[in-house]
């Protein structure tokens, strides 16, 4: 039996740092380049595997070299590959231009939007995971349109459902009707404000929890806040134990730390402590390279 089925996106990330502001006219610039596992779904699945959970990923990739690359990266993290979907389109690709504490992302969606939700629902009913985590709702039309089917399938097997919508590239944040029926929502501050149409983060979290969801808002270096049953809890982020190299994927590592602690039966304050520890530790490197083990997380969370 699976612990977690992640449903979402998978692609490689090309991380560029240094002199990354493009200058046209064939001007050559010296940058530092790293290829990492990408896609919120892919990074979170790898982080869950690193934390010792039996994890599979339902995501669409092409039958090409980039698809083979990310598939191998998942296998290296112990992620089960039997729910990966092969699409006719080429595997997606994201290019991250990293500068100080900011970044720009250029994405070729490719196969990302070809996710077959019906296949993911069958996987939930067959594998009976304890937890289903849905990512990148605004990148995958089928999730926006048929996310309710995932909720139904998860409830058929008594699985908890968490959702990290990620950022909306169109910046509309039109929440699908099913979103607030999830058990857990895991936005960052900008996403929470956008989804709730509120400038105040705590008020946004309260509005998003109106139908009973536990809403956990990632606040980066300021930690996290959670709203559940009308109660609000805040935790500070642990101080980084090593220099911050890259924050790409930190939110997905946060999600993984939260899910692991929830499945372990910890209370909400401990869940948040483990989540912030996992997110902070992941900044040792971008993508999946800095993801912590459970022992790492416990050491920092204490």
SS3 track for 116-134: CHHHHHHHHHHHCCCEEEE
Annotate 114-138 with b (16+ C-beta within 10 A) or e (fewer): bbebeebbebbeebebbbbbbbbbb
Q: Is residue 103 part of a domain?
A: no
Q: Average pLDDT for residues 252-258, to the nearest whole number?
A: 97
Give a yes or no: residue 191 inside a domain. yes
Residue 31 in domain = no
H or E element: which one contains 273? Answer: helix 268-282
- Report DSSP state, residue 92: P
Q: What's the total number of domains in the chain?
A: 1
* Assigned token pair, 63: 């039958």
**How do residues 275-284 score in pLDDT, each as one tens digit?**
999 999 998 8
Banded model confidence at residue 287, pLDDT cuts 50, 70, 90? low
Tell whether the torsion through CA atoms of 59, 247, 169 and 262 is positive or negative: positive
Give the contacts of 61 (CB within 8 A, at least 6 positions apart): 10, 11, 67, 70, 71, 84, 85, 86, 87, 91, 92, 111
Main-chain phi, psi angles of 259, to 5 degrees:
-65, -45
- Residue 190: how many CA atoms within 13 Å on its side-chain side? 8
Supply the mean pLDDT for the chain: 94
pLDDT digits (tens, 9 = 90+) for 186-223: 999 999 999 999 999 999 999 999 999 999 999 998 99
Is 99 inside a domain boundary? Answer: no
Q: Report the C-alpha gap between 165 and 41 in whole angstroms.
A: 11
Average pLDDT rounded to a whole number, residues 5-26: 91
Tell me what the mean pLDDT of segment 229-256 comes to.
86
Residue 104 placed within a domain: no
**Which residues form the domain of 268?**
4-9+39-93+111-301
Distance CA 18, CA 286 (A): 15
Instruction: Give the predicted TM-score (pTM) of the model.
Output: 0.95
In whole angstroms, give the CA distance from residue 139 to residue 275.
24
Domain of 155: which CATH number? 3.40.1190.20
Q: What is the H or E stretch that residue 234 is in?
A: strand 231-235
């Amino acid at each position: 039996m699976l612990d977690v089925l992640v449903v979402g996106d998978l692609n490689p990330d090309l991380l560029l740092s240094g002199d990354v502001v493009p200058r046209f006219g064939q001007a050559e610039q010296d940058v530092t380049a790293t290829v990492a596992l990408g896609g919120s779904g892919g990074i979170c699945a790898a982080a869950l595997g690193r934390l010792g959970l039996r994890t599979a990923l339902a995501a669409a990739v092409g039958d090409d070299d980039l698809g083979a690359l990310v598939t191998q990266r998942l296998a290296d993290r112990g992620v089960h590959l039997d729910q990966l979907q092969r699409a006719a389109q080429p595997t997606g690709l994201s290019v991250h231009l990293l500068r100080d504490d900011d970044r720009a992302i250029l994405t070729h969606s490719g196969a990302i939007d070809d996710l077959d939700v019906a296949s993911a629902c069958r996987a939930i009913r067959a594998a009976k995971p304890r937890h289903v985590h849905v990512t990148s709702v605004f990148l995958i039309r089928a999730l926006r349109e048929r996310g309710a089917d995932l909720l139904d399938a998860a409830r058929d097997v008594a699985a908890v459902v968490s959702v990290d919508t990620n950022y909306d590239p169109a910046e509309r944040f039109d929440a699908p009707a099913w979103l607030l029926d999830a058990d857990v929502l895991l936005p960052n501050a900008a996403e929470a404000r956008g989804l709730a149409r509120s400038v105040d983060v705590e008020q946004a979290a309260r509005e998003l929890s109106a139908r009973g969801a536990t809403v956990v808002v990632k606040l980066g270096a300021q930690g996290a806040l959670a709203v559940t049953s009308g109660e609000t809890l805040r935790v500070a982020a642990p101080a980084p134990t090593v220099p911050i190299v890259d924050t790409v994927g930190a939110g997905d590592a946060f999600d993984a730390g939260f899910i692991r602690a929830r499945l372990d039966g910890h209370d909400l304050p401990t869940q948040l402590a483990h989540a912030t520890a996992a997110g902070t530790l992941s900044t040792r490197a971008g993508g999946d390279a800095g993801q912590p083990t459970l022992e790492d997380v416990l050491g920092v969370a204490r």
